[in-house]
Amino acid sequence: MSNNNSSLPYSPAKEKAGGMRGPYNRLLLVQKLRHLLTHIGSVRIKILLPICVILAIILLAGRAASFMGWKHYNLLPARAQSRKGYTVLINTWKRNDLLKQSVSHYAGCSSVDGINVVWSEIEPPSETLQADLRRIVRHKSQSSKKPDFRFNLNEVDNLNNRFRPIPDLKSDAVFSVDDDVIFPCSTLEFAFSVWQSASDSMVGFVPRMHWVKKNDAKHFTYGGWWSVWWMGSYSMVLSKAAFLHKKYLDMYTNQMPAAIREYVIRERNCEDIAMSFLVANATGAPPIWVKGQIFEIGSTGISSLKGHNERRTRCLNDFVSLYGHMPLVAGSVKAVDAHHKMFW
């Protein structure tokens, strides 16, 4: 009997047991490697495919925005802009406790260059009040350069005083605000950046609307907050909380028809509507409404009195008569700070 094993049938088990490395073992190794590479490839595809899809969407969105004429604005904080900060112009009347709260708050906002208090009382502010407010500004300010603080004293009491020009005003931007409302500094920073992108406009937090009367296209009705909320459009932002360029103070006092200022004195109302008419007449554009938190720290004002909307409606139509046309322009843009809003 021959001892030649070449005639025996091939046995992979025997080859493996005997430590042999024949062709079958090499084939098995190649198959395992192919299977491993295939598995790795499928995993990589599963990981990379969603990333590629997301990148493609971002690229297409950017090109679509460019194609449709949309512009992307990088609204940097005001301190990073080339322009200066803004002046807070506080209108007050015999509410020194509220005035102190307002000055204390706004002195701590980083982009505030100055705080001016519109004082229209017969008696000037006491030395004690002036000293207290200056001490508050020095203590609350977070910047090395403290905001300028001054009183704008007026000999007579009328609502036009809040828009008198301010000599030597350093900043172009003026934030006109009543002494009984407060806005967080972050909200003001955002609103200021919006104003910087449209510095001829009024940029504010309290929108209102004028409506054409039904079956009477020559007369208008004043629309309060609920009409703005319901219809989604507005044509005014009230100067109780709005940014505007300092040039409008001079225009209001020296260029606007004197009959309108006299009307405001006589009616003791509607100076904010008069300013909205002035800016709209100069720009031919709507104001910009900024969505933000508002904290009311005082009691209700004249807007809560009976017949308020009727008086405002009368102002609207009387101002239209004095101008000879309706300058207000309706808009529907609402500026929202996406950093602080999950849904916008």
User: HSE on the CB side for 285, CA within 13 Å?
Assistant: 11
* 268: nearest Cα among 343, 161, 108: 161
pLDDT band per the 50, 70, 90 thresholds, residue 295: very high
Q: Beta strand 207-213 with 236-237: parallel, antiparallel or unpaired?
A: antiparallel
Please report the beta strands in the chain, taking only residues with DSSP state E, as ranges in sequence order: 86-91, 112-119, 148-153, 173-178, 181-182, 203-204, 207-213, 216-223, 236-237, 241-245, 288-290, 295-296, 334-335
Q: Is residue 128 part of a domain?
A: yes
Predicted confidence (pLDDT) at residue 269 exceeds the cutoff of 60: yes
Query: How far is the C-alpha of 191 from the C-alpha of 241, rounded, in Å?
Result: 11
> Are residue 277 and residue 216 in the same domain, yes or no?
yes
Number of domains into which the chain is organized:
2
Check if the beta carbon of residue 280 is closer than 8 Å to that of residue 210. no
Structure confidence by residue, pLDDT tens digits, 206-220 = 999 999 988 777 899
Check if the beta carbon of residue 132 is closer than 8 Å to that of residue 101. no
Catalytic residue chosen out of the listed positions 178, 180, 272, 337: 272
> Are residue 193 and residue 325 in the same domain, yes or no?
yes
> Are residue 60 and residue 154 in the same domain, yes or no?
no
pLDDT score for 79: 38
CATH number, position 182: 3.90.550.10
> Are residue 238 and residue 307 in the same domain, yes or no?
yes
> Are residue 63 and residue 91 in the same domain, yes or no?
no
Structure confidence by residue, pLDDT tens digits, 42-101 = 545 455 555 554 555 444 444 433 333 323 333 333 333 434 899 999 999 999 999 999
> Are residue 48 and residue 138 in the same domain, yes or no?
no
Q: Is residue 13 part of a domain?
A: no
> Are residue 108 and residue 238 in the same domain, yes or no?
yes
Share of the chain above pLDDT 70, in %: 72
Check if the beta carbon of residue 110 is closer than 8 Å to that of residue 145. no
Q: Is residue 102 part of a domain?
A: yes
User: HSE on the CB side for 78, CA within 13 Å?
Assistant: 26
Q: Is residue 327 part of a domain?
A: yes
250 burial class (0-12, 13-18, 19+ CB within 10 angstroms)?
middle
Q: Which residues form the domain of 246? A: 79-340
> Are residue 203 and residue 309 in the same domain, yes or no?
yes
- The question of whether 148 is a catalytic residue gets the answer no
> Are residue 175 and residue 60 in the same domain, yes or no?
no
pLDDT band per the 50, 70, 90 thresholds, residue 204: very high
Number of H helices, E strands in the chain: 10, 13
Structure confidence by residue, pLDDT tens digits, 103-132 = 999 999 999 999 999 999 999 999 999 999
Chain mean pLDDT for the chain: 81
Q: Is residue 29 part of a domain?
A: no
Q: Is residue 11 part of a domain?
A: no
Q: Is residue 17 part of a domain?
A: no
